[in-house]
Amino acid sequence: MLKKALHFGKRARYQSVKVGLHSATWANTHKVKLITTSVVVSFAVVIAMMASMIINSYAYVVKIDGQTVGYVKNEAEYATLLNEIEENLISEGVDAKEILDQVKVETGTSDKFYEDVDKIEAEDLTDTLVDKSNTFANAYEISVGEDNLGIVASATDAQEIEKKLVEKFAAPEGEELVSTDLAEAVAVGKVKTELSKLSNTDEIVDKIVAGRNEVQIHTVADDDTFWDIALANGLSEEEILNTNPQIDPLTLKPGDEVKLNKANPYMHYTVVTKATANEPVAFNTVEEESADLYVGESQVKQEGANGEVSITREFTRVNGEITNVTEVSSTVVTAPTDKVILKGTKAKPAPVSVAKSSSNSSSRVAAPAYYPPTPAGDGTKSSVINIAAAQLGKPYSFGATGPNAFDCSGFVAYVYNNAGYGFGRGSAQSMYNRTARVGAGDLQPGDLVFFSGTYNAGEPVTHVGIYVGNGTMLHASPRGIAYDTITSGYHASHLYGYGRV
């Protein structure tokens, strides 16, 4: 540009002499103006070029082990990038200096304009550095006994695991927490590990809850049924069949071996809770002697009315499953009113015979009086619960009706008959047929819970238990008289209905 401007000035001066149209004074005066103008124009062009270079400045290249991984604007921007990388690595428990000591990072001005290149982000550069280094994080290993359950990035994460276990097995809504206990000692040790081996807290909590799978062999006993084996081991029939596809449940015989794939928890977290609920108390029926009534006659003197009692119970759960229920206290809210029946004591008159009349050969004999039966006594639901709980742990035996062993219907009959209900004996199906239907929302302690399909009985209802509150029943299981939940797992999947005696 500058050369063109000067050349233009020379040509103008030559032309002014050649044509001779102006005096020397005029030419000299305008020669200065032309030179001055050309210099100003050339300077402006140079400034424009410099401005263009500033606007389109060269990018700053970043190389790792000699390979270009990206560009930044300048050295100051690279310094900012390093700060972000360090924060990213610290959050993963890694020292940035440890990585940079292992990996060769080069920087410098490139021959490319900044606006024409792909810019590298801190997150991308962090990943690249980690990939190219043998990076180890300062971390914390969680173990129980000899079992290593995982590695987390920080001591805070280790503490978070116990917090999440507490939340997972927290007291159900409406129950007050009494105590908690973790049976096994949990060790937290500081280790160095590869970043890829770090676990998050949820993964470790899920592992603890699921436990380790262990295959056990069960040898079928004389009285075993497929349902007995499943229930005694906390498994469904489907789970056993998945492990033993060759087995036919209907042809099991003593001596057969069944593989049981059981989960053995890494930890046993015990939670004790307390809950208070108001429950009805059935009225009693009492008899009084009456000389105004003949022997065998009866009359209701006073109708009965149910009362109400407030009962506080403690529930013990291990890893969320109820293992024990204990009645702590009970307070009468409203006392029941006895039903009073008068029982006659007056001697019955002898039948009167009418002698023959001389005018009538027929005779009349007085008919005996009709004497209605005495009503059976009524029991209380609280006595049902107490009598049922007193059988806890007694063994199961098919067809047994107590007092030393029971099957499911024998247990229910024993409890209700001893509670004063006169319920009789029968199968689970017959008990279902003899009780009033109750909805899940109206279920009360002492009601019966019925199940279907627990074994091939040839009728819909195959098992029965006594509801004790809080989604729990007492029943005769293959492991004996025990508490079990009816809201999840095996029993929930076989639930048939509810009944009230």
Give the model's pLDDT for residue 376.
34
pLDDT at 496 over 90: yes
pLDDT at 459 over 90: no
Place of tokens 């909805």: 439
Q: What residues act catalytically?
A: 408, 463, 475
Give the model's pLDDT for residue 63.
84
Average model confidence (pLDDT) across the chain: 78
C-alpha distance from residue 419 to each of 143, 192, 288, 442 (Å): 51, 65, 21, 22
Structure tokens at 142: 């969680």
Contact (Cβ atoms closer than 8 angstroms) between residue 458 and residue 450: no
Point out which residues pair with 189 in neighbouring strands.
141
Q: What residue type is assigned to position 412 of the chain?
A: V
Between 58-62, 280-284, 358-362, the lowest mean confidence (pLDDT) is in 358-362
pLDDT band, very low/low/confident/very high, at 19 (cuts 50, 70, 90): very low
Rg of the chain, C-alpha, whole Å: 47
Q: In the CATH hierarchy, which fold is given to the domain comprising 379-501?
A: endopeptidase fold (from Nostoc punctiforme) (3.90.1720)
What is the Cα 237 distance to its own chain's centre? 22
CB-based contacts of 18, cutoff 8 Å, min separation 6 = none
CA separation for the pair 377, 343 (Å, rounded): 14
Q: In the β-sheet with 495-500, what is the strand arrangement from edge to edge?
A: 436-437, 495-500, 448-452, 461-469, 472-477, 480-485
Kindly report, residue by residue over 397-456, the tens digit of the pLDDT. Answer: 988 998 899 999 999 999 998 888 888 888 999 999 999 999 888 899 999 999 998 888
What is the Cα 220 distance to its own chain's centre? 33
**Cβ atoms within 10 A of the Cβ of 475, count?**
26
Q: What residue type is assigned to position 323 of the chain?
A: T
Contact (Cβ atoms closer than 8 angstroms) between residue 284 and residue 304: yes
Structure tokens at 160: 């978070």
Question: Measured on CA atoms in the order 157, 158, 161, 166, is the torsion positive or negative?
Answer: negative
Which 8-state DSSP code applies to residue 295?
T
Count of helix runs (H) and strand runs (E) in the chain: 13, 21
pLDDT band, very low/low/confident/very high, at 36 (cuts 50, 70, 90): very low
pLDDT band, very low/low/confident/very high, at 51 (cuts 50, 70, 90): very low
Give the model's pLDDT for residue 351.
53
Give the model's pLDDT for residue 258.
94
- Helix (H) or strand (E) run with residue 301 in it: strand 298-302
Kindly report, residue by residue over 274-303, the tens digit of the pLDDT. Answer: 999 888 888 888 899 998 887 888 888 999
Q: Is the pLDDT higher at 66 or at 370?
A: 66
Residue 9 phi, psi (nearest 5): -65, -45
Q: How many percent of the chain have pLDDT more than 90?
A: 25
Q: In the CATH hierarchy, which fold is given to the domain comprising 268-348?
A: Resuscitation-promoting factor rpfb fold (2.20.230)
Give the model's pLDDT for residue 415.
93
Burial 85-111 (b: 16+ CB within 10 A, else e): bbebbeebbbebebbbeebebeeeebe
pLDDT at 472 over 90: yes
Structure tokens at 115: 């606006």
Coil/strand/helix, residue 471: coil
pLDDT at 482 over 70: yes
Between 176-185, 320-329, 342-351, the lowest mean confidence (pLDDT) is in 342-351
Q: Is the pLDDT higher at 276 or at 18?
A: 276
Which residue from 328, 281, 270 is spatially nearest to 307, judged by alpha carbons?
281
Give the model's pLDDT for residue 340.
92
- Helix (H) or strand (E) run with residue 188 in it: strand 186-194
CA atoms within 13 A on the CB side of 311: 21
C-alpha distance from residue 124 to each of 109, 348, 394 (Å): 20, 107, 66
Pairing status of strand 436-437 against strand 495-500:
antiparallel
C-alpha distance from residue 27 to each of 22, 34, 322 (Å): 7, 10, 116
Q: What residue type is assigned to position 251 of the chain?
A: T
Give the model's pLDDT for residue 236.
81
Give the model's pLDDT for residue 369.
34
Structure tokens at 237: 């029939």
Q: Is the pLDDT higher at 32 or at 258?
A: 258
pLDDT band, very low/low/confident/very high, at 379 (cuts 50, 70, 90): low
Q: Averaged over 265-276, what is the pLDDT?
A: 89
Give the model's pLDDT for residue 96.
67
Structure tokens at 303: 């109708």
Structure tokens at 349: 């008159």
Which 8-state DSSP code applies to residue 396?
B
pLDDT at 463 over 90: yes
pLDDT at 3 over 70: no
Kindly report, residue by residue over 144-179, the tens digit of the pLDDT. Answer: 888 888 998 888 888 888 888 778 888 788 899 999
Give the model's pLDDT for residue 161.
86
pLDDT at 344 over 80: yes
**Cβ atoms within 10 A of the Cβ of 83, count?**
11
CATH architecture under which domain 213-264 falls? Roll (3.10)
Between 38-52, 53-67, 142-156, 215-229, the lowest mean confidence (pLDDT) is in 38-52
Kindly report, residue by residue over 107-138, the tens digit of the pLDDT. Answer: 778 888 878 877 788 778 777 777 666 566 67
pTM: 0.46
Q: Averaged over 85-90, what is the pLDDT?
A: 78
Pairing status of strand 285-294 against strand 339-346:
parallel
Q: What residue type is assigned to position 499 of the chain?
A: G
